[in-house]
């Protein structure tokens, strides 16, 4: 027989507790998934969706898009100001694209904004911006957000 079965220090109880905890986590996760699905079916009635769509005012969506684009331009401009002071020109289109890339990566990889910041920092370094200036622009961007 195995030594951990025969020893008296509780190896069997520890192994049983680990198995129980593993099964409990799977059962709990499945129960939460079922609860979310049931809540989704309960709260997403088709008639309500149709009513909202009928009352929608598309021009508000246009205003929202313009304002959101303005935030990305402003974020990109924060990077451009710091790099411009250091003598490196970053076009506003590149800064805008970097802002969009940062948003996408921050949403896709939840890491408190660090992953998107790393991508922007690398992109700026590839454009010839020194590491010190990149770090300064990161700090300015974080403080201004």
pLDDT tens digits, residue range 18-71?
Answer: 777 777 777 888 888 888 887 777 666 666 777 787 887 888 888 988 998 888
Report the pLDDT value the prediction gives residue 84, as an integer from 0 to 100. 81
CB atoms within 10 A of CB 91: 11
Taking the C-alpha atoms of residue 88 and residue 52, their distance in angstroms, rounded to an integer, is 49
Model pLDDT, residue 61: 81
Q: What is the mean pLDDT of residues 134-140?
A: 79
Q: What is the pLDDT of residue 92?
A: 80
Max CA pair span of the chain: 76
Q: Give residue 3's pLDDT band: very low, low, confident or very high (50, 70, 90).
A: very low
- 3-state DSSP: the chain helix, strand, coil percent, rounded to 5? 80, 0, 20
Name the token pair of 24: 């409990």
pLDDT at residue 42, rounded to an integer: 67
Task: Over range 101-111, report the average pLDDT.
Answer: 75
Averaged pLDDT score across all residues of the chain: 76
């Amino acid at each position: 027989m195995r030594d951990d079965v025969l020893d008296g220090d509780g190896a069997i109880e520890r192994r049983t507790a680990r198995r129980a905890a593993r099964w409990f986590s799977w059962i709990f996760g499945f129960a939460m998934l079922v609860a979310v699905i049931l809540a989704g079916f309960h709260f997403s009635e088709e008639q309500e969706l149709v009513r909202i769509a009928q009352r929608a005012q598309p021009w508000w969506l246009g205003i929202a898009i313009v304002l959101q684009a303005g935030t990305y331009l402003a974020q990109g401009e924060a990077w451009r100001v710091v790099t411009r002071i250091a003598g490196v020109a970053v076009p506003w289109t590149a800064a805008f694209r970097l802002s969009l890339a940062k948003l996408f990566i921050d949403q896709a990889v939840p890491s408190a904004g660090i992953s998107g910041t790393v991508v922007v920092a690398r992109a700026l370094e590839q454009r010839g911006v020194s590491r010190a200036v990149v770090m300064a622009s990161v700090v300015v961007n974080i403080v201004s957000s």
